Structure formats: structure tokens, C-alpha cells
């Protein structure tokens, strides 16, 4: 039973970080990043190929680049950086000349292209099969049996939650600062923001990278836990789940992002796991998606601001005298 | 050399299929300002509607009409009950994109629940093969090209010569002004969704006819190819969509001959991204995805 | 007001074509410092487009724009704003989900917290800058009598109030030249006089303003000189009184 709880907590941590990242991009800055899952994937693949031994190991059944077998926490740090690095060329291409809805589509399409290319270019990241047998953090140091104990699970939960804390700290500092205000102004009316001296491209690119770093970290945490990562696991609807989480939880509000992460990817998908299997295989996932779609529509209609709307910011009155 | 001629021939069928879909999609955007990301899913749903009829013994050509009707009714109802109400509510453009994406995912998954994820194919008779200057096509493929040409001419005639077509163009240019001039824009928009929905359903069915087999998962591939053609030609421009279809259709088939068939989709998608970045307004557009100021 | 200071802004032969239309067709003007210059003309004359080109919201197709001795036509809008050339908009462009006070603070340029690194360093780093700006913003709110609205969402305000917020926002940037695009548009007639008084006092304090405006009564009260545009070109300039007598102007306008 405890394994279930610790697993749930790690998944929750991953989803919370991803939702906070997307909230920074979409909720606060107004960037509709329909390709977000690509950043999580970049972090996951990077952490994986840096933790894995060279590809000849394990009988050489996988083909992938690098394979440096680096110790924890280097793969996680690299995963976060990879998310940010991937954001740069994509951001430079997409954020400069396109209006909002075209940006969204271009980002969606780019994430799909990346998925197809990686699926077909086997030597790069082992194609459709993906990379597996990824050593969990500290596996080389403490041995294989130690990884399967409760203590290790608790350890994993703790380091995941530490990452959540770090990301939340950074996200709150950004959102509640004058910079956050400039981002929100850009979100509200970008032409007016530019007319008041805001460098829109710099702001968009920066938040693209910041969200990318956070997304990459979430991927590193996830791949360290489940040990494998394949293209089928990061198709474009995954991004939609995160958007649903933010719309439900509350756009622009980091606590809303956390609530949304708990309600939607964690709570919702976990809850439906307990339903008895009926109909053909694959029926339940199909209904899950229908429900996610209904959730999005329902909230956009009845409560577009989400459960926790963005807080009204007030300023303390100057003290008398 | 004959490899390229054959690829060129496949490109002709490809572009015919894409053109029908792209014109419908771009007209939806041009007249109602909606990027209907559920388009591909409606296409595949219509293809399956035709499939059930076809496997009940009906000729594929009749089933094709049913596919068109499915697309028309589905799209009309979708606008009536979802898109228009959200638009009236004042949902911003980006919200509408999310709405259409949600609808698309729900549609394809409902379809998945009903028909399963397996590949299926139509009972159809490809007819004899025709060889012409290195191009190798079956009679059925030639018929598909013919259907597409007829549809394109019909749309051209609609837009140019009929009152409805003129009303559509006026609504596309400026809906408020059109309404003030007495044009019943509500009814025009209903007609747009019926007609473009029919094109959507037809496109899905003929795309399925042109494949060895198809499944629910093909829907998103359809969407992006059509998006590529529509954006390339200029969003909202039907003639641009036709031009875009020609380019994308030939480009994907020729590149499949050169590189490898798996990358066909990548070529189409990359063209889309490149076009969006280099010339977002497309080849023919007057209005389009213009740069944000600042 | 020193009359021998050169113009603050000189536009020379500015064109703006778009899809075959010449919205601005060779316009050359000078804006003198410390004056409230009016820009009038019939609908479709290209006044708002010209203003947008000056501000950088739209790029000029041809021509030169020299602001305070510097050629600014290659600069994007945000760099012009940072140099003191600030515009407002005809349609309401408040930041709707930000409060009135936040709208003003968002405009302020010098805040150490206005960067990612600054934000991450926390309030200890940017708190002082922020407090100073809050004080300045409240000063403006007090002057424009909107202090009790400071915590209201700007999107919930009336048209006239939104217009005042936009003007205050522009003032937070300490502009050298303020470009106003029909400041009275969409404003309730009872507020128009109030806004006009504010503009008068700003002008008297030495702020240079170029204002596009339709209501000739306002133009008469506030503007000297006045430039008239029609069909993308300048067809007259000078005091309104003289312009009224010019044949071309009257013809273009058909207004008394």
C-alpha cells in the first residue's frame, strides 16, 4: 500500500512542477505553449542518456547517444538545462513573428514533428521503443536491492518534493515581482505593453526558457522514477491535460496550478484507475479523454478563471507620519 | 526517373484529397474566424460512417455521400451548440482554439470507444491501372481526382456567381458591416458550416479510400497536412488552399520517394512551420497571421 | 516657453502603405516642445495611422522620424517609449486584470525587480524601488482624483476612467512627447471637460503633446498649433482660427 502512496506522491510532484511551469508560460505570460510536453521530454531523455551506461551495456539492445553514467544529481540538473536549451531555438523561431493562435499551432506542430523524428531516427534515442533500464538516482552507489526498499521510495519522495519547493519558490518570486507584473501586462494587452516600453520578445523568450527549465526538471524526475521514456509517452494530448489542469485550478495562480495538478492529471487519472474494466481494452482511457475534454469545456464556460483565480494584488498603505 | 513520375502521380491524388479538406478548413477560418482543430477528427469520423455503410454492402461511392452528410451535420451541430455560444460569450481567440482542441480529442476518443483502434479498410474496387507518361494510377484514383476537381469548381462557382457566395465573402471581409447591410449573417454562417462540413466529411472519406487502411489515429495527421496547405496558401483564402494543396501534395509524395515514406508527415509539418515563420500571411493572403507590434 | 528651441520631433516625408492603400502619403511635420499640437482631419485621413507610425506601433514604409536629435524610424515601439515618446490608444487598452495601481506601476521603467534575476532576488532587492514607485503612482492617482479606485480592476472602470488610467500610465514613463489618439473617444460628455483640464495643466507644466482629436471644440480650447490631414496628406497647419478660413480645409471637412 505504501508503494502506491509514494508512487502517487512522486507523480504528483512531477505534475505539479509541470503545471507550475506551464502556468508561468500560459497563466502569467499568456504564451499558449501547446508544445509544452516537448520540454518535459527533453529533460527526461537528457537525464536518461546521462544516467545510462554506454549503449553496449545490457546486451546492447538499445541505441542511444551519450550514455555517460553520471551520478545523481548531475542528470537532473542537465535535464533542467536541456529543457531550457531546447526552448531557445523554438522560441526564437515561433515567438517573433506570429500572432497568438498561430503561435499555439506552430508549437503544437513542432512537438508532433519532434515526436515523429525521434520515433524514426533510431540511433538517436532508440526510436519507438524508447530508452529503458534507466538507473534511478544513486543506484550505482547503493546497489540494486537498495533501490527496491521503502526507504528508497521515501528518499525519492523527499527529493521530488524538494524540487517542487524549489520550483514553487522561484515561480512565486517571479509572479509576485515587478517582472511578474510586466508579464501580466503583456498577457493582458501586448500592444499597449510595448507602447509602454516592454520588450515583448525578451520577456516571451525568457519565460519560454524558464518554463522549459522547470519542464525539463519534471521530466528528469519522472524518468528517474519509472526508468523508461518512449515517444508514445509524450504525445501532444499530454500537453492538453496540463492545460486542463491550469484552466480548472486557476490561470495565473501558482496555487491554482498545484490544485489543478492534483485534481486533473493525478486525481482524475488515478481515480479512474479504480473503475472496473468494462468494454474493450482502451475504453477507459478513451472515456478519460472525453471527461478531460468536458472538464475543459465546462470550466471555460462556467468558471473560466478556475477554482483559484489570480489574486488581486493590493499594496500596503504608507504608515502615518 | 520513373520513380519520380510515379511519385508525381501519387502526388496528384494526394493533392486532390488535401485540396478538398483544405478548402473547407480555410473557409471555416476565413468566414467565422475559427481555427477548427477538430477538423481532422470530424474527417475520420465521417470516414468511419462511410465504412459502416460500405461494410453493410453499400457501394463506396454512395457511402462517400454519407460521409459528406456526416461531416456536414456534425460540423453544423458543433457550431450551433458549442462554437457559436462560446463566441457569443466573448471567449477570446485562444480560448476558442482550446475549445476546438478539446472537442477534437473528445470526438476522436468517443469514436475510439465505438470502433476500436484497429486499422480497417473499405470494400472498394480500384479498377484497372492506367499508365500515362510514367504516371501509374488506378481508375479509382483517377475518379477521386475527378471528384476533387468537380468540388473545387463547385466552390469556385459558389463563391463567384451565387448570392450565397457573395454573402459569404462579405461576411468574411467584415461581419458587422455585412450584417448592417442586411445580410443574414447567422444563416450564412450556418450554410458555411454545412458546406464546409460536407467538404470535411468528403475529404476524410476520400483520404481513407486512398489508403490501404485507416484508423482513428489518422485524424491528427489529416489535420496537420490540411493546416499546412491552408496556411501555405493564406489562411482564409480558398484559392490559396488549393494552391497550398498542390504544393504540399506533390512535396510530400516526391520527398517520400527521395527520403523515406515515414518522413512524409514530417515534410508536411515542417513546411507548415517554415511557412508560418517566413511568410505567415501565406502565398495569396490579404489578411493573415500578422506580426505582433513592438 | 522658449520659442527658439528646435522641434522635439520632426517627421519627414513619412509614408505608410499597406496592401495597396496609402494611409499616410508623404507627411512632414514638426512638433515644437512645450506645445499641445492638434492633428485633425476627416475620417480616413490617416491621422491615427500616422500616430501609430510615429510611436512605432506600425512601421513606416518610407520616411524619416527624428526625435530629440535621433533618427528613430528603425526602432521598435518599446525602444521609442523608453526614450520618452509615449502613446495612448483610441480603443480602451487598459490592462484589464490588473488593478488601477498595478496599471500605473506596470508602466514605470526604473524598477530593479523588472527582470527575471531581479525577481528571483526577492523583495529585499527591489522593495525600495517598488515603494518609491507606489508613492509616485499614488501621487498621480491623487492628482487625477482616482485614489479610491486604486485596487479596482482596470477592466471594471468606465470609459472615461479607463482613459484617465491610460494617461496616468503614460505619465509614469515621464514622457518627453505624449501622443494622444482621440483621448475623448468613448468618454462620457460630462467627463470630457475634466480630461481637457488635465491636459491643459500638463501642457502648462511643459509637457509636449501631439493629439489626434475629432471634437473641434476641444481642439479649439487646447491646441496650438493645429495640423490638418486629409487622404494621407497634410493640407494645412497653423492656428485653428486661420485654418477655418482655408478653402481646402473647409472642403475636406464639411464642418463648421
Cβ atoms within 10 Å, residue A293 = 24
| C77 interfacial to chain B (CB closer than 8 Å) | yes
A195 contact B CB<8A: yes
Burial C54-80 (b: 16+ CB within 10 A, else e): bbbbbebeebebbbbeeebbebbbbbb
Q: DSSP class of residue C209?
A: E
Q: Which three cell numbers stand for residue A306?
A: 478556475
Task: Enumerate residues 6+ apart whose C-beta is below 8 A from B52.
Answer: none
Tell me the pLDDT tens digit for each residue of B144-166: 899 999 999 999 999 889 989 98
The Cα C106–Cα C93 span in angstroms is: 13
Counting Cα atoms < 13 Å in the Cβ hemisphere of B50 gives: 34
Rounded CA Rg of chain C:
19
Backbone torsions φ then ψ of B132, nearest 5 degrees: -150, 105
Tens of pLDDT along B201-239? 999 999 998 888 899 888 888 888 898 888 888 878 888
Contact assessment for residue B282 and residue B28, using Cβ atoms and an 8 Å cutoff: no
Do B294 and C57 make contact, defined as CB atoms within 8 angstroms?
yes
pLDDT of residue B290: 29
Say if the Cβ atoms of B294 and A198 lie within 8 Å: yes
| Cβ atoms within 10 Å of C201's Cβ, excluding its own | 11
Sign of CA dihedral A50, A54, A59, A61: positive
- Please tell me the distance from the alpha carbon of residue B265 to that of residue B170, in angstroms, as a whole number: 35
Phi-psi sector, C192: left (phi>0), alpha (psi -120 to 50), beta: alpha
Q: How far is CA C32 from the centre of its chain?
A: 15
CB contact under 8 A, B286 and C77: no
The separation between CA A238 and the C-alpha centre of its own chain, rounded to angstroms, equals 9
Beta-bridge partners for B136: B131
Output the average pLDDT for chain A. 88
Q: Which residue of B has its CA nearest to C58?
A: B293
Q: Quote the CA–CA distance of B264 and B28 in Å, as a whole number.
A: 26
Contact with chain C for residue A68, Cβ under 8 A? no
Q: Taking the C-alpha atoms of C240, C245, C246 and C251 in order, what is their torsion angle to the nearest 10 degrees?
A: 100
Show residues of chain B in contact with A116, CB under 8 Å. 262-263, 265-266, 269
d(CA B8, CA B145): 13
Q: What is the per-residue pLDDT for B124?
A: 81
Q: What is the pLDDT of residue A281?
A: 64
Region A174-178 average pLDDT: 95
Cell triple for residue C198? Answer: 488635465
For residues C183 and B4, which has the higher predicted lDDT (pLDDT)? C183
Cβ neighbours of residue C185 closer than 8 Å, sequence gap 6 or more = C90, C91, C214
Residues forming beta bridges with residue C17, ordered by sequence position: C22
Q: Cα C130 vs. chain centroid, distance in angstroms?
A: 25
Looking at residue C3, what is its pLDDT? Answer: 52
**Interface membership of C113 toward A (CB under 8 Å):** yes
Best CA proximity match to B221, nearest among B258, B250, B248: B248
Q: Do C119 and A198 touch (CB under 8 A)?
A: no
Among the partner residues C77, C99, C107, nearest to A313 by beta-carbon distance: C99
- pLDDT tens profile A53-65: 887 777 777 888 8
What are residue C223's DSSP bridge partners?
Answer: none
Low-confidence ranges of chain C (pLDDT < 70): 1-4, 253-256
Q: Is A200 on the interface with C (CB under 8 A)?
A: yes
- Contacts with A196 from chain C: Cβ below 8 Å: 78, 81, 86, 106-107, 169-170, 173
Query: Which contacts (CB < 8 Å, 24+ apart) does range A145-152 have?
Result: A150/A2, A150/A3, A150/A6
Cell output for B285: 493572403
Residues 171 to 230 of C: which have CB under 8 A from any A CB?
A: 173
Which whole number is the average pLDDT over A26-30? 94
The CA distance from B44 to B222, in Å, is: 8
Q: What is the pLDDT of residue C256?
A: 37
pLDDT band at A144; cut points 50, 70, 90:
confident
Neighbouring C-beta atoms of residue A97, cutoff 10 Å? 18
Helix H or strand E encompassing C36: strand C36-40
Residue A15 confidence (pLDDT) above 90: yes
pLDDT digits (tens, 9 = 90+) for A271-304: 666 666 666 666 777 888 888 889 889 999 999 8
- Best of C86, C91, C113, C171 to disrupt the A interface (most A CBs within 10 Å) is C113
Is pLDDT at B267 greater than 90 in this prediction? no
Measure Cα distances from C35 to A49, A115, B169 in Å: 66, 60, 47
pLDDT (tens digit, 9 = 90+) per residue, C220-240? Answer: 889 989 999 988 889 888 888
Start-to-end CA span in chain A (Å)? 61
Residues of A in contact with C115 (CB under 8 A): 179
Chain B residues closer than 8 Å to A236 by CB: 220
Beta strands C36-40 and C226-230, pairing class: parallel
pLDDT given for residue C11 in this prediction: 93
Alpha helices in B33-59 (DSSP H): 39-55
Closest CA to A147 of A91, A238, A224: A224
Subunits in contact with chain A (3 or more CB pairs closer than 8 Å)? B, C
C9, containing H or E segment: strand C9-18
**Residue whose C-alpha is closest to residue A50's, from A274, A168, A219:** A219
pLDDT per position as a tens digit, C191-217: 888 899 999 999 999 899 999 998 888
Integer Cα distance of C166 and B126 in angstroms: 67
Which stretch of A7-11, A232-236, A275-279, B79-83 has the lowest confidence by average pLDDT?
Answer: A275-279
Q: What is the mean pLDDT of residues A78-85?
A: 96
Local structure of residue C35 (DSSP, 8 states) = -
* DSSP one-letter code for C187: -
Alpha-carbon distance of B232 to B252, in angstroms, equals 14
d(CA B71, CA B199): 7
Q: In the structure, what pLDDT confidence band is assigned to residue A197 with cuts at 50, 70 and 90?
A: very high
B277 versus A12: the higher-pLDDT residue is: A12
Amino acid at each position: 500500500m505504501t508503494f502506491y502512496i509514494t508512487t502517487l506522491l512522486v507523480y504528483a510532484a512531477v505534475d505539479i512542477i509541470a503545471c507550475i511551469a506551464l502556468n508561468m508560460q500560459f497563466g502569467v505570460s499568456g504564451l499558449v505553449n501547446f508544445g509544452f510536453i516537448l520540454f518535459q521530454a527533453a529533460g527526461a531523455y537528457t537525464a536518461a542518456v546521462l544516467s545510462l551506461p554506454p549503449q553496449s551495456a545490457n546486451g546492447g539492445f538499445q541505441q542511444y547517444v551519450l550514455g555517460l553514467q553520471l551520478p545523481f544529481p548531475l542528470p537532473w540538473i542537465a535535464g533542467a538545462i536541456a529543457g531550457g536549451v531546447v526552448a531557445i531555438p523554438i522560441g526564437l523561431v515561433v515567438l517573433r513573428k506570429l500572432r497568438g493562435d498561430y503561435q499555439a499551432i506552430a508549437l503544437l506542430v513542432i512537438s508532433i514533428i519532434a515526436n515523429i523524428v525521434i520515433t524514426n531516427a533510431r540511433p538517436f534515442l532508440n526510436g519507438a521503443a524508447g530508452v529503458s533500464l534507466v538507473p534511478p538516482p544513486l543506484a550505482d552507489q547503493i546497489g540494486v536491492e537498495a533501490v527496491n526498499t521503502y526507504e528508497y521510495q521515501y528518499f525519492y519522495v523527499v527529493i521530488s518534493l524538494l524540487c517542487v519547493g524549489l520550483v514553487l519558490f522561484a515561480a512565486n518570486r517571479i509572479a509576485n515581482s515587478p517582472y511578474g507584473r510586466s508579464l501580466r501586462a503583456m498577457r493582458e494587452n501586448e500592444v499597449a505593453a510595448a507602447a509602454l516600453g516592454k520588450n515583448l520578445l525578451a520577456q516571451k523568450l525568457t519565460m519560454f526558457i524558464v518554463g522549459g527549465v522547470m519542464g525539463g526538471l519534471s521530466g528528469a524526475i519522472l524518468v528517474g522514477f519509472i526508468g523508461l521514456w518512449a515517444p508514445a509517452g509524450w504525445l501532444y494530448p499530454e500537453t492538453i491535460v496540463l492545460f486542463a489542469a491550469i484552466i480548472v485550478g486557476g490561470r495565473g495562480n501558482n496555487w491554482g496550478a498545484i490544485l489543478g495538478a492534483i485534481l486533473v492529471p493525478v486525481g482524475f487519472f488515478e481515480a479512474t484507475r479504480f473503475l472496473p474494466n468494462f468494454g474493450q481494452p482502451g475504453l477507459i482511457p478513451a472515456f478519460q479523454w472525453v471527461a478531460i475534454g468536458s472538464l475543459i469545456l465546462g470550466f471555460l464556460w462556467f468558471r473560466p478563471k478556475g477554482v483559484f483565480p489570480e489574486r488581486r494584488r493590493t499594496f500596503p498603505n504608507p504608515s502615518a507620519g | 526517373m520513373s520513380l519520380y513520375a510515379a511519385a508525381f502521380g501519387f502526388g496528384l491524388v494526394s493533392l486532390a484529397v488535401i485540396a478538398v479538406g483544405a478548402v473547407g478548413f480555410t473557409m471555416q477560418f476565413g468566414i467565422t474566424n475559427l481555427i477548427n482543430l477538430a477538423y481532422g477528427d470530424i474527417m475520420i469520423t465521417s470516414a468511419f460512417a462511410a465504412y459502416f455503410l460500405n461494410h453493410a454492402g453499400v457501394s463506396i461511392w454512395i457511402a462517400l455521400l454519407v460521409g459528406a452528410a456526416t461531416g456536414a451535420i456534425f460540423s453544423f451541430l458543433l457550431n450551433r451548440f458549442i462554437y457559436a455560444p462560446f463566441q457569443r460569450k466573448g471567449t477570446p481567440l485562444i480560448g476558442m482554439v482550446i475549445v476546438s482542441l478539446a472537442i477534437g480529442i473528445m470526438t476522436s476518443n468517443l469514436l475510439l470507444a465505438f470502433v476500436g483502434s484497429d486499422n480497417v479498410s473499405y470494400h472498394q474496387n480500384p479498377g484497372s491501372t492506367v499508365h500515362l507518361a510514367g504516371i501509374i494510377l488506378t481508375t479509382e484514383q483517377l475518379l477521386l481526382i475527378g471528384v476533387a476537381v468537380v468540388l473545387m469548381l463547385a466552390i469556385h462557382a459558389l463563391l463567384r456567381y451565387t448570392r450565397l457566395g457573395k454573402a459569404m465573402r462579405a461576411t468574411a471581409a467584415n461581419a458587422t458591416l455585412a450584417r448592417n447591410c442586411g445580410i443574414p449573417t447567422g444563416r450564412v454562417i450556418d450554410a458555411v458550416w454545412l458546406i464546409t462540413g460536407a467538404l470535411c466529411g468528403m475529404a476524410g472519406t476520400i483520404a481513407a479510400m486512398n489508403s490501404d487502411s485507416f484508423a482513428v489515429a489518422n485524424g491528427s495527421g489529416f489535420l496537420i497536412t490540411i493546416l499546412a496547405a491552408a496556411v501555405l496558401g493564406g489562411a482564409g483564402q480558398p484559392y490559396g488552399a488549393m494552391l497550398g494543396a498542390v504544393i504540399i501534395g506533390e512535396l510530400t509524395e516526391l520527398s517520400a520517394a527521395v527520403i523515406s515514406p515515414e518522413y512524409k508527415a514530417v515534410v508536411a509539418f515542417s513546411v507548415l512551420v517554415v511557412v508560418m515563420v517566413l511568410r505567415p500571411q501565406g502565398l495569396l493572403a490579404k489578411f493573415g497571421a500578422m506580426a505582433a507590434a513592438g | 516657453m522658449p520659442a527658439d528651441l528646435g522641434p522635439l520631433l520632426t517627421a519627414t516625408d513619412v509614408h505608410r502603405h499597406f496592401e495597396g492603400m496609402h494611409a499616410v502619403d508623404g507627411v512632414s511635420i514638426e512638433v515644437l516642445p512645450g506645445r499641445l499640437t492638434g492633428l485633425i482631419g476627416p475620417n480616413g485621413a490617416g491621422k491615427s495611422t500616422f500616430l501609430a507610425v510615429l510611436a512605432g506601433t506600425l512601421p513606416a514604409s518610407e520616411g524619416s522620424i527624428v526625435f530629440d536629435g535621433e533618427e528613430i524610424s528603425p526602432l521598435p515601439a518599446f525602444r521609442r517609449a523608453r526614450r520618452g515618446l509615449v502613446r495612448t490608444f483610441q480603443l480602451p487598452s487598459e490592462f484589464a486584470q490588473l488593478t488601477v495601481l498595478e496599471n500605473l506601476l506596470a508602466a514605470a521603467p526604473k524598477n530593479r525587480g523588472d527582470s527575471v534575476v531581479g525577481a528571483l532576488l526577492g523583495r529585499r532587492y527591489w522593495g525600495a524601488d517598488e515603494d518609491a514607485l507606489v508613492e509616485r503612482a499614488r501621487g498621480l492617482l491623487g492628482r487625477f482624483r482616482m485614489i479610491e479606485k486604486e485596487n479596482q480592476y482596470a477592466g471594471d472602470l468606465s470609459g472615461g476612467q479607463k482613459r484617465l488610467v491610460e494617461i496616468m500610465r503614460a505619465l509614469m514613463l515621464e514622457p518627453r512627447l505624449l501622443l494622444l489618439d482621440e483621448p475623448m473617444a468613448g468618454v462620457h460628455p460630462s467627463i470630457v471637460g475634466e480630461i481637457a483640464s488635465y491636459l491643459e495643466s500638463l501642457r502648462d507644466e511643459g509637457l509636449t503633446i501631439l493629439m489626434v482629436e475629432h471634437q473641434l471644440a476641444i481642439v479649439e480650447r487646447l491646441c496650438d498649433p493645429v495640423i490638418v490631414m486629409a487622404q494621407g496628406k497634410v493640407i494645412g497647419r497653423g492656428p485653428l482660427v486661420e485654418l477655418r478660413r482655408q478653402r481646402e480645409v473647409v472642403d475636406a471637412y464639411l464642418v463648421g
